[in-house]
Structure 1
Amino acid sequence: MTSSVWLNADFSLRVVINSETKPWVPSPQPGVERRMLDRIGDEKARATSIVRYAPAASFPAHEHPGGEEILVLSGTFAEGSTLHSAGTYLRNPPGSAHQPGSPAGCIIFVKLWQMNPADRATVCVNTRDATRWHHLIDRAVCPLYEGFGERVQVLRLQPGALLLPEGNDAGAELLVLQGSLLEAGHTLPQGAWLRLPPGDGLGVEAGPEGAELYLKAGHLRELIDLPPAR
């Protein structure tokens, strides 16, 4: 990977971004724009982004040496002739290839080059499928992936429910999909993206309307000890 872009690249630091207030930045491919959240590298980067496809926009077929993780936020995302509706979670392992696009337009949450090189799991989960959910006292959980010390899930929190009731020993990352979170009187609205180092975020709770969010933990464990990017 090249290293021409460094954005929120010190993993020991908390980052809170309202992604919906960030400008859309054109990608090299016509009709595809992105909101960058963190990034190390140029076009072949370790990156976290919100990506928007205009109708009929697509990328040529290509490989992902470091793997790719996708959550379809709205519209319909395509991999070749396979269509994925809003709420679909995809995990394409290191060395996989696809031809992404969208027939009618879509917005997706994307994480690139953030998987263990030995990970070979291909995952496709429809989070709108009620049978995928486990219901607890103050939340419902849709498991998406667990392996190599990493756990990914979508949560639906009841109003006032703590985000991390069991603590945060290895760092966590989340994207608010619906509703809001509250912390020390501050509101984290739909579209807020948080990257929390170990021990952080323990006071975050769901807002008065509850919250639905993507939550990923464990993947920062090795990165937190890296020196800050220069």
Structure 2
Amino acid sequence: MLNMNFTEKVVINTQEQPWLASPHAGVWRKPLAREDAERGHATSLVKFEPGASFNEHDHPLGEEIFVLSGSFSDHTGDYHAGSYFRNPEGFRHAPFSKDGCILLVKLHQFQSGDNEHLIIDTTKTSWSPGMGNLMVMPLHNFQGESTALVKWPKGERFQPHKHFGGEEIFVISGEFMDEYGRYPAGTWLRSPHLSEHFPYVEQETIILVKVGHL
């Protein structure tokens, strides 16, 4: 097991982690949370070398992907950085990468009844006004769990707040901050139910945020 106590805060700067070989040639991983070596709940960065591929497979309790760089492909098409996927249980594919890619991948974490197959190109999706001067791009919402991109303008400070159902953040660009530290691009944070902080930024920053699932 790795970081499976959801009552504890976890902060990992993935830029400082080594890539670990997976059982598939040309596919590397940086595990962030994992229930078991090759099954169950898992959150990881995954790197495909150019030409790497998987055999066709299903994803019990779903697969959630955000393409961080490069291009990721399956039988439905080619998807570049900024693509967001939700592949529910029963969806089968044989993914590959022609030119290589890096993905944020969450496995085995869908709620019962959440069966929508979703593909969003966030580079072609409009931002909406959020609280304060934040801009928000909603990606997924189901029974209290929601995922969104949030864009913080330079110098923005948010009000202190608690996370009902917890909060999970991946810093895509810029640098996210709160009273506990500074989190550069590539940092993954998971904060437990009813945790509290006072976040802010000094430069424009984009984060991927999931709330209500812990």
Report if the CA contact (8 A) 1:177-1:190 is conserved: yes
Structure 2 counterpart SS, 1:167: strand
Measure how far apart 1:81 and its partner are.
5.6
Matches within 5 A, 1:113-128: 113-128=108-123
Gaps of 5+ in 2: none
* Partner of residue 134, structure 1: 128
Once the two structures are superposed, what CA deviation does each residue of 1:4-48 show, in whole Å capped at 9, x if it has no partner? Answer: xx0001000000000111110000000000000000012122100
Gaps of 5+ in 1: 1-5, 221-230
Counterpart CA distance in 1 for 2:159 and 2:81 is 26
User: CA, structure 1 residues 120+178, in 2 after alignment: closer, same or farther (shift >3 Å)?
Assistant: same
Measure how far apart 1:166 and its partner are.
5.4
Residue 203 of structure 1 aligns to which amino acid in structure 2? F
Alignment RMSD: 1.6
TM-score under structure 2 length normalisation: 0.94
Identity of aligned residues (%): 37
Counterpart CA distance in 2 for 1:66 and 1:164 is 35
* Partner of residue 98, structure 1: 93
Counterpart CA distance in 2 for 1:162 and 1:93 is 36
Measure how far apart 1:200 and its partner are.
2.2
Pick from 161, 181, 190 the counterpart of residue 185 of structure 2.
190
Residue 103 of structure 1 aligns to which amino acid in structure 2? K
Counterpart CA distance in 2 for 1:64 and 1:163 is 37
Say yes or no: does 1:111 pair with 2:106: yes
Deviates more, 1:27-36 or 1:75-84: 75-84
* Partner of residue 83, structure 2: 88
Structure 2 counterpart SS, 1:132: coil
Report if the CA contact (8 A) 2:161-2:198 is conserved: no
* Partner of residue 224, structure 1: none
Counterpart CA distance in 1 for 2:33 and 2:158 is 22
Measure how far apart 1:203 and its partner are.
1.4
Aligned residues: 213
TM-score under structure 1 length normalisation: 0.88
Measure how far apart 1:162 and its partner are.
4.2
Counterpart CA distance in 2 for 1:29 and 1:103 is 16
Report if the CA contact (8 A) 2:28-2:48 is conserved: yes
Matches within 5 A, 1:24-173: 24-80=19-75, 82-129=77-124, 131-136=125-130, 137-162=132-157, 167-173=162-168
Counterpart CA distance in 2 for 1:179 and 1:132 is 20
Residue 36 of structure 2 aligns to which amino acid in structure 1? G
Measure how far apart 1:113 and its partner are.
0.2
Say yes or no: does 1:212 pair with 2:203: no
Structure 2 counterpart SS, 1:98: coil
Structure 2 counterpart SS, 1:115: coil
